[in-house]
Chain A
Amino acid sequence: MAKKPKIAEVDRSLYDFKDDESDFYRIKAGLTEEIVNQISDEKHDPDWMRAERLESLKIYNSLRVPDWGPSIEGLDMDSIATYVRPNTGMKGSWNEVPEEIKSTFEKLGIPQAERESLAGVGAQYDSELVYHNVKEEVAAQGVVYTDLESALTGKYEDMVRTHFMKLVPPTDHKFAALHGAVWSGGSFVYVPAGVHVEIPLQSYFRLNAKGAGQFEHTLIIVDEGADLHFIEGCSAPKYNVANLHAGCVELYVGRGAHLRYSTIENWSKNMYNLNTKRALVEEGGKMEWVSGSFGSHTSYLYPTTILKGDDSHCEFTGITFAGAGQNLDTGAKMIHIGEHTSSYINTKSISKSGGISTYRSAVQIMSGAHGAKASVSCASLMLDAESRSDTIPAIEVDTDDADVGHEAKIGRISDEAVFYLMSRGIAEAEARAMIVSGFADTVSKELPLEYAAEMNNLIKIEMENG
């Protein structure tokens, strides 16, 4: 076999452009009660929300940094600005969005995607949404898709209050508490009972500011028998200082409802991505996660599903690609509570150029989850000996009436496969990229076409310096 070609460093110019933020409002760096109060003032919080923020800050200060995951020593909260507001309010038309910000989202293809294939779009820039719109026919079905701040004080206030940070309480972990203290932006979605939203909604999060954090909160309630596909995208330009993303996603899937939540995460490689995502599924409900993790310096990301209702079901399909300088700790958690619940985790991870990829998961079958079935399948691909790939799956079964299977594999690209493709005139680098794309196929086929194309493009960038 010929010597492997050196795969060059990643060219992220597609995502790596910066806007001037000189006229933005930026809160001073750090995390104090004064800063939390200031954010609350800026956002005109109701009193209960201010109280929750301050309580979360206390919890944050009382909790320790996790001792089990990648190091986050490079993250200094005293250097992070937790709130940066662009010089615009939220608009309902792209024509009203300031030119520079609009141009950013155009480069990322958001307005085009909205025109062609989405039922609604929310676009967040730093700490605030700058654009939100939902198609009239979707709104006419009673679907609510708005920024969370509007929902907080409007007619959905009670609904928000009874669900906000109830699935992910601030006591859950240190960065959930941080989120509770300084959250800003994000979306609220309510799909009424029986309504099927035929085409997806999408929120896109762009963090432009240097040395800042983004803490958007996504709250989705899919009522009984309803159906929704929600897409989340994110990116940021690269800086030489740490940025932080500590978002929170809470998903409520009602009785017999279905929710698919797809994410292509492509943060820049100075980002600490400490995101928390959780879903609660009622009787007969179905939750699907499709997750691609490509960016970030360090990631902690384990979407969790609580299968509370009998006969509820969840599938998690994920891929993680860790390149030079990245330490991506990703996976999923499934908690079976109801009877005859079922879950399926299928993940792929790729490590290259010194990147560290860790698959971490937990499947818990509680004592009352009679007839539960769970299956975990994870595969890791090592592209060189400088990299690292670990698989750390935990299983807990507290009843005899359960069926749990687990399978994990780790290996490298087979020389035979590369040789076969080269014998048909394909260059080695391209052959290796093709094999990696094939390895990722189980994830890309779960995505809408244009997002699958974006994911394949990201793999190509990583593999070929596209």
Chain B
Amino acid sequence: MSDLIMINNLPCLTWNRLDLNRAAVDSRDLEVNTEVPVEFLTLPDGVSCRPVTGAAAAKLLARTPVQVPERVQAGKVPIYHPQRFATGLGGDFDRLASAAADAAGKKVQLLEVRPGAAPARPILWHTEYHDGNRALSRQIIHVGEGASLTLVMDFVSGAEDGGMAGVSTGVILDRGARLDLCRVQMLGSSYVHFDDMGASLGEEAAMTYRQLELGGSRTYAGAQAELIGRRSSFTARMGYFATETAKMDIGYNVVQRGRRTKSDMTFDGALAGHAAKTFRGTIDFRNGSAGSTGDEQENVLLLSPAIVNKTIPVILCEEEDVQGRHGATVGRLADDILFYFGTRGVGMREAQEMMVTARLGAVAREIPDEDLRSRIDAFISGKI
């Protein structure tokens, strides 16, 4: 049966005619027909990975501190759409994806890092899809007190393949834990991709989230970070490249609850052909987050007159002693840059290619796997 589900909900509503408050998706888009295996290299000492049932996963996530809903309501509907454990794509996706995966007997992968463990090498989590695959994978990453982990996940398929690739990740960082989570999506041109992430950060925990969304026909990427413990921090570096008729819907929501928390997010993207992109980015300072700072910047390079770019960078604030900033720049290559390239014999198209590569390369450079970086470069070059 077909129903619309609402995902990437903006935590505060604005004019409906702008079509920014949420993305509507046909529930049939989440239908599953297979399980795609994950390829691991060997797990380092101190790290374990085991399948658990959906019920056990929910129980584990429920042990995190309660994420109190908004004190003030901006409109007649709740300003916030609380889940027990909030994720970026939101409650509708969470419920439907969990139900679909549970019904198919698919388990949740629980990746745990023992307290104090600090693996020297990143874990590479490679998932390869084939034409016609429709699969949802779920993980919980639990990094124990004082431990650290770098996890690199990539999702790939053949260039012309189609299907559905859904991934839903819950992150629990205990006191002083560190996580560097990298996600790279290089799916075929007819794939629909759902990327859902929710993180709960304890005292002095730190998470860096690097995300590259490069392929697919429709991408829905949602991330929610709850900075609950004092001095916890969330850093995001996202890059995206949408071409032809691709649609991209991105929602990042950082809720800063603890004292002296910090968020720092940059989003660099390029749009070409008839691509359409919506970006919602929110920094939400809650009561009690005194001494916190939040910074968000989006830079969009426009490469075609037929693109549609929508951006809504939001700051919500109910705490006096905070500093928040957001900025956005949207435009094509400046004339002076083109002129500079021209004087060196570089034409406009070539200059555009170089700028796209440079922008996305800035995110890719930080990914700690040389092979993956090479594949990213090749993928971007192929798309250009």
The residue that B310 contacts in the complex, of A71, A396, A402, with Cβ under 8 A, is A396
A395 to B319 Cα, complex, angstroms: 26
A42 at the interface (CB under 8 A from B): no
Given contacts A67-B77, A367-B305, A410-B322, contact A394 B316 (CB under 8 A): no
Chain A contacts of B33 at CB under 8 A? none
Chain A contacts of B321 at CB under 8 A? 385, 412
Known: A71-B76, A400-B331, A403-B331. 6 other contacts (CB 8 A): A70-B74, A390-B314, A391-B315, A393-B313, A406-B313, A409-B324
B42 at the interface (CB under 8 A from A): no
The contact sample of 9 A-B pairs, CB cut-off 8 A, is: A65-B76, A360-B14, A382-B319, A392-B312, A398-B308, A402-B331, A403-B331, A407-B325, A410-B323
Chain A min CB distance to B232 (Å): 20
**B330 & A385 in contact (Cβ 8 Å cutoff):** no
**A384 & B320 in contact (Cβ 8 Å cutoff):** yes
**B312 & A356 in contact (Cβ 8 Å cutoff):** no
Chain A contacts of B307 at CB under 8 A? 397-400
**A73 & B76 in contact (Cβ 8 Å cutoff):** yes
A444 at the interface (CB under 8 A from B): no
A68 at the interface (CB under 8 A from B): yes
Q: What band does the interface of chain B fall in when counting residues whose beta carbon is under 8 Å from A?
A: 35 or more
**A400 & B302 in contact (Cβ 8 Å cutoff):** yes
Chain B min CB distance to A340 (Å): 14
Q: Which residues of B contact A (CB under 8 A)?
A: 12-16, 18, 20-21, 72-77, 285, 287, 290, 300, 302-332, 334
**B324 & A411 in contact (Cβ 8 Å cutoff):** yes
Chain A residue at minimal CB-CB distance from B293: A411
CB-CB contacts of A365-400 with B at 8 A, as 1s and 0s?
Answer: 001000000000000101111011111111111111
**A385 & B287 in contact (Cβ 8 Å cutoff):** yes
Given contacts A67-B75, A389-B317, A398-B307, contact A405 B21 (CB under 8 A): no
Given contacts A390-B315, A404-B329, contact A67 B76 (CB under 8 A): yes
Chain A contacts of B305 at CB under 8 A? 367, 399-401
Chain B contacts of A410 at CB under 8 A? 285, 315, 317, 322-325
A408 at the interface (CB under 8 A from B): yes
The residue that A70 contacts in the complex, of B14, B75, B317, with Cβ under 8 A, is B75
Chain B contacts of A380 at CB under 8 A? 315, 317
A238 to B334 Cα, complex, angstroms: 53
Chain B contacts of A358 at CB under 8 A? 74
**A406 & B318 in contact (Cβ 8 Å cutoff):** no
**B330 & A397 in contact (Cβ 8 Å cutoff):** yes
Residues in A327-361 with C-beta less than 8 Å from chain B: 356, 358, 360
Chain A contacts of B302 at CB under 8 A? 397, 399-400, 402
**B75 & A69 in contact (Cβ 8 Å cutoff):** yes
Given contacts A395-B312, A398-B308, A400-B304, contact A407 B12 (CB under 8 A): no
Interface of A is mostly: strand
Chain B residue at minimal CB-CB distance from A376: B328
Chain B min CB distance to A360 (Å): 6
Chain B residue at minimal CB-CB distance from A68: B13
**B290 & A385 in contact (Cβ 8 Å cutoff):** yes
Chain A contacts of B303 at CB under 8 A? 400
A391 to B325 Cα, complex, angstroms: 10
A362 at the interface (CB under 8 A from B): yes
A172 to B91 Cα, complex, angstroms: 32
Chain B min CB distance to A335 (Å): 12
Given contacts A397-B309, A400-B307, contact A382 B75 (CB under 8 A): no
Chain B residue at minimal CB-CB distance from A385: B320
A397 to B304 Cα, complex, angstroms: 11
Chain A contacts of B16 at CB under 8 A? 67-68
Chain B residue at minimal CB-CB distance from A377: B327
The residue that A385 contacts in the complex, of B21, B319, B324, with Cβ under 8 A, is B319
Chain A min CB distance to B345 (Å): 24
**B328 & A383 in contact (Cβ 8 Å cutoff):** no
Chain B residue at minimal CB-CB distance from A327: B74
**A396 & B308 in contact (Cβ 8 Å cutoff):** yes
A216 to B330 Cα, complex, angstroms: 39
**A68 & B21 in contact (Cβ 8 Å cutoff):** yes
Q: Count the A-B residue pairs with Cβ separation under 8 angstroms: how many?
A: 155
**B12 & A390 in contact (Cβ 8 Å cutoff):** yes
A222 to B149 Cα, complex, angstroms: 65
- Report the 9 A-B pairs with minimum CB-CB distance, sorted nearest first: A400-B302, A68-B13, A403-B331, A406-B328, A404-B330, A410-B324, A385-B320, A382-B320, A391-B315
Given contacts A408-B315, A409-B325, contact A394 B320 (CB under 8 A): no
Chain B contacts of A367 at CB under 8 A? 305-306
**B310 & A405 in contact (Cβ 8 Å cutoff):** no
A402 to B329 Cα, complex, angstroms: 10
Chain B residue at minimal CB-CB distance from A381: B320
Residues in A183-224 with C-beta less than 8 Å from chain B: none
A403 to B329 Cα, complex, angstroms: 7
**A69 & B325 in contact (Cβ 8 Å cutoff):** no
A362 to B329 Cα, complex, angstroms: 15
The residue that A411 contacts in the complex, of B310, B311, B323, with Cβ under 8 A, is B323
Chain A contacts of B310 at CB under 8 A? 394-397
Chain A contacts of B330 at CB under 8 A? 395, 397, 402-405
Chain A residue at minimal CB-CB distance from B16: A68
**A405 & B328 in contact (Cβ 8 Å cutoff):** yes
**A394 & B304 in contact (Cβ 8 Å cutoff):** no
**B72 & A356 in contact (Cβ 8 Å cutoff):** yes
Chain B min CB distance to A78 (Å): 19
**B315 & A68 in contact (Cβ 8 Å cutoff):** no
The residue that B328 contacts in the complex, of A362, A390, A392, A395, with Cβ under 8 A, is A395
Chain A residue at minimal CB-CB distance from B326: A408
**A71 & B75 in contact (Cβ 8 Å cutoff):** yes
The residue that B314 contacts in the complex, of A392, A402, A404, with Cβ under 8 A, is A392
Chain B contacts of A397 at CB under 8 A? 300, 302, 307-310, 330
A65 to B314 Cα, complex, angstroms: 23
A139 to B334 Cα, complex, angstroms: 49
A383 to B319 Cα, complex, angstroms: 9
A74 to B302 Cα, complex, angstroms: 45
Chain B contacts of A383 at CB under 8 A? 320
The residue that B309 contacts in the complex, of A65, A396, A403, with Cβ under 8 A, is A396
A71 to B72 Cα, complex, angstroms: 11
Chain B min CB distance to A442 (Å): 18
Chain B min CB distance to A329 (Å): 8
Chain B contacts of A388 at CB under 8 A? 72, 317-318
A73 to B20 Cα, complex, angstroms: 25
Chain A residue at minimal CB-CB distance from B18: A394
Chain A contacts of B325 at CB under 8 A? 407-410
A412 to B317 Cα, complex, angstroms: 11
Chain A min CB distance to B196 (Å): 24
A402 to B321 Cα, complex, angstroms: 36
A385 to B331 Cα, complex, angstroms: 37
Chain B contacts of A403 at CB under 8 A? 330-331, 334
**A404 & B331 in contact (Cβ 8 Å cutoff):** yes
A50 to B14 Cα, complex, angstroms: 34
A55 to B308 Cα, complex, angstroms: 36
Given contacts A68-B16, A367-B305, A407-B327, contact A394 B312 (CB under 8 A): yes
A40 to B309 Cα, complex, angstroms: 46
Chain B contacts of A385 at CB under 8 A? 287, 290, 318-321
Chain B residue at minimal CB-CB distance from A395: B311
